[in-house]
Amino acid sequence: MKKINRTFPSTRLRRTRMQKFSRNLTSENLLTSNDLIWPVFIMDGQNKKKEIKSMPLIYRYSIDNIIPEIDRLVKIGLQAIALFPYIENNKKDQTGSLALDSDNLVCRCVKEIKKYFPELGIICDVALDPYTSHGHDGIIHNDKVNNDKTISILKKQALVQAEAGCDILAPSDMMDGRVSSIRKTLESNGFKDTLIMSYSAKYASCFYGPFRDAIQSSKLLKPINKKSYQMNPANSNEALYEVSMDISEGADMIIIKPGLPYLDIISKCKEEFKIPIFAYQVSGEYSMIMSAAKMGFLNLEDAILESLICFKRAGSDGIFSYFAPHVLEKMNKSR
């Protein structure tokens, strides 16, 4: 920044903050409906809507019940959703084989949504943790998550989702080389225009707890955590390395996860790569804000908007947020 000699009282920075109109005119960042992606939990069955205890006012929906919810939100500006399945235990196995079934829950949901909302962007998670009996994102071999064996399945899962009509594939597994493998598979099967939004910097975070409850993958078998493949929270240079690799392998966009605790990572990646970057305001962030508001420790509306605009300030082009429906409704009422 160019140094400018400013002295008091000729310069009073408070002048532009004194009234609402001048605060609006000088706002450096703006949150709009175009910035929001709604993460949605889906489940099998008919006419089901079940609240997730660790995520107040967040639900799992059967496919028939998610359609009217989407309809309501598309009318007020919803641009994209991200689907996450709740799979019953008796349908899980060691390799997550259901992920490759073209008639699985996610594929059926994508097809049904596209019937009614062909212009809505649909993002599908490419990972095995909802489908595996051990709860990990990959194939277990000798008590370790095997990178290459996992990729051989992920690329097939990605193809199945693309064939169902998914617009954006979002590999969240953190296996090395999976973006390249998925991109080559898409290219060789005629899906050249299918986007890849890679979870390039996904940290081994404690903030995922409520999400794992939501998809029923919280009880990990050996290994007992995901630190061997998700990133060390102490590292930032490694995140730049990860993002660089994914871009070179064919990622169109990247995700930083979690969100608020990693604003510095968002900022560094945006400054370095100038690529579309999306923040994921994860389940733990959502539940903390909701719990603090319930206790009267903070104002819910202010906390939601402040947390979201922070992502924009840090450099995010968009935000995955469970608050998306609430914020869209507020924006619609203020028009």
Catalytic site positions: 202, 257
CA distance linking residue 317 with residue 280, whole number of Å: 11
Q: Report DSSP letters for 242-261, one per residue.
A: HHHHHHHHT-SEEEEESSGG
CA distance linking residue 38 with residue 35, whole number of Å: 10
**326 closest CA partner among 36, 30, 13:** 36
3-state secondary structure of 130: coil
Cis peptide before 325 (omega within 30 of 0): no
DSSP state of 232: P
Question: Is the Cβ–Cβ distance between 124 and 81 less than 8 Å?
Answer: no
Which run of H or of E encompasses 39?
A: strand 36-43
The two tokens of residue 257 are: 């996860």
